[in-house]
Amino acid sequence: MLNKYPRLKKFLHYLLVHPYSSRPRWWARVFLIPFVIKKGKGAIVRRKARLDIIPSKKISLGQKSIIEDYCIINNGMGDIIIGDFTHVTSRVKLVGPVKLGNYVTIGSGAQITGLTHNYLDITSPIAKQGVTPNQTVVEDDVWIGGNSCINQGISIGTHCIIASGSVVTKSVPPYSVVGGNPARILKQYDFERGEWIKVPKK
């Protein structure tokens, strides 16, 4: 609805967020954001988590999921949807649009982003060219190692392991172990043999 009134939208955004910062103003952090987050039964958002949240986008946390201290959660460009029993460990950065499934564990210092910065116009600073949202999806039962980087627009299938420090630039099929920079598939589960099989390096 606000898109029909760009001046009003710009003014409301100014009231919520400092013009050259992504962090909401103190009054919004104290009086507004706690009521914007939709939390399931037993879900926890630690007090020292940084929540760069605007009410026009969704943020939801499933039952018994946790966002730990010193995380940065930003839904400015898209919804952040977190499933049940998911653990967002300390110092993780989530930049929407991002969707996390159930039983996802994200190690300390990892980053998952759902947008990319525009850069094609060489006559304009990259910082002024805006961003393009592209949702990143992490399916159920995924373990993401600490200090990993999950790039925008990809999906990670169910029951995957992302080794610590990996840079994931392509979608990962279910039941895979990936690692490296850029990350590649190291192992995959063979249902016929009932075991994990090493994938040769190409």
As annotated, the active-site residues are 117
- SS3 of 114-167: the string is CEEECCCCCCCCHHHCCEEECCEEECCCCEECCCCEECCCCEECCCCEECCCCE
Q: How many residues does the chain have?
A: 202
Give the whole-angstrom CA distance, residue 43 versus residue 28: 21
What is the distance in angstroms between the CA of the first residue and the CA of the last residue of the chain? 51
Judge whether 26 and 17 are in contact, CB under 8 Å: no
Give the whole-angstrom CA distance, residue 193 versus residue 23: 51
Residue 54: CB atoms within 10 Å = 20
Which residues sit opposite 161 in a β-bridge? 143, 177
25: which 2 tokens? 């103003």
Strands 149-150 and 111-113: parallel
